[in-house]
């Protein structure tokens, strides 16, 4: 016996009632529940749909679907971090590496000239922090608006548009800014600061501009049903 369209919709409703807000996770769980219910009916055709559903749901344990959600979030966060790393690597390969080295040299020169004025060097790091926060707020608002338009939320999309584990990188420039003092640093240390500042700047650019601009392609690669279910970003 196969589930009807109404019963499939009931499964989607059931996952939403149990705090699964992302459509991709809902779909995975609906597929799993539907197959399991159909298997139960093969063994016991007298079971009602709701009875079979409750039997399957109990198999997820005390926390229900939460473990599945957490596992999927962890997997997609790793996928996102890999996307960021792959994009960052391109800036250290020809021909982009020339621009990257030039940027490090410019920042090194500025820091060497301004290291006596430690507040000016701190401004470079705090400027990076402020631009990151503003950029993230913009991305999250844009994503929230689009979610209202299409009515579906996708986990990878949420990660790309502002909820990534990489957001913790903002702690690095904060720590550098707070620990910089008005003293003469060794050129090697200044070069390291310059390199880190450029890497953080590139990472910010990748997270706020580059990956969001390619988000539709990433989503289609991850979710075959994405193009059918929602319109373009």
- Measured at the CA of 195, the angle between CA 100 and CA 79, to 5 degrees, comes to 75
Span 118-166, pLDDT tens digits: 666 677 777 877 888 888 888 888 888 877 777 788 888 888 887 655 5
State the burial class of residue 90 (Cβ atoms within 10 Å of its Cβ: 0-12, 13-18, 19+): middle
Do residues 193 and 124 make contact, with C-beta atoms less than 8 angstroms apart? no
pTM of the model: 0.78
- Measured at the CA of 220, the angle between CA 84 and CA 148, to 5 degrees, comes to 95
| pLDDT score recorded for residue 232 | 43
**Which are the contacts of 3, defined by CB distance < 8 A and separation ≥ 6?**
11, 34, 37, 38, 49
H or E element that contains 227 = helix 226-229
Span 49-58, pLDDT tens digits: 999 999 999 9
* Rounded Cα–Cα distance for residues 76 and 164 (Å): 9
- Chunk the chain into consecutive blocks of 10 residues (it has 233) and report each block's average pLDDT, rounded to whole numbers: 90 94 92 94 92 94 89 90 93 94 91 71 76 83 77 85 62 59 71 86 89 89 71 45
Average pLDDT, the chain: 83
Q: Which tokens hold the place of 187? A: 């050129």
Do residues 180 and 121 make contact, with C-beta atoms less than 8 angstroms apart? yes
Q: Which tokens hold the place of 76? A: 């997609």
| pLDDT score recorded for residue 177 | 57
Q: How far is CA 215 from CA 83, 156, 188, 206, in A?
A: 11, 9, 38, 12
| pLDDT score recorded for residue 233 | 43
């Amino acid at each position: 016996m196969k589930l009807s369209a109404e019963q499939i919709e009931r499964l989607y409703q059931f996952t939403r009632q149990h705090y699964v807000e992302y459509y991709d996770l809902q779909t995975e769980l609906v597929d799993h529940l539907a197959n399991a219910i159909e298997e139960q009916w093969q063994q016991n055709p007298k079971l009602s749909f709701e009875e079979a559903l409750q039997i399957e749901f109990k198999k997820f344990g005390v926390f229900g679907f939460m473990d599945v959600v957490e596992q999927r979030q962890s997997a997609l966060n790793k996928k996102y971090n890999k996307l960021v790393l792959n994009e960052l690597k391109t800036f250290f390969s020809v021909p982009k590496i020339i621009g990257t080295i030039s940027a490090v040299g410019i920042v090194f020169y500025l820091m060497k000239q301004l290291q006596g004025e430690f507040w000016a060097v701190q401004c470079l790091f705090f400027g990076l922090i402020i631009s990151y926060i503003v950029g993230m707020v913009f991305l999250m608002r844009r994503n929230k608006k689009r979610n209202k338009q299409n009515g579906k939320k996708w986990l990878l999309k949420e990660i790309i548009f502002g909820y990534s584990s990489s957001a913790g990188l903002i702690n690095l420039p904060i720590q550098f800014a707070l620990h910089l003092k008005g003293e003469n640093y060794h050129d090697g240390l200044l070069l390291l600061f310059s390199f880190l500042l450029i890497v953080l700047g590139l990472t910010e650019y990748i997270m706020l501009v580059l990956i969001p601009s390619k988000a539709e392609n990433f989503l289609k690669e991850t979710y075959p049903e994405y193009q059918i279910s929602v319109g373009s970003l």
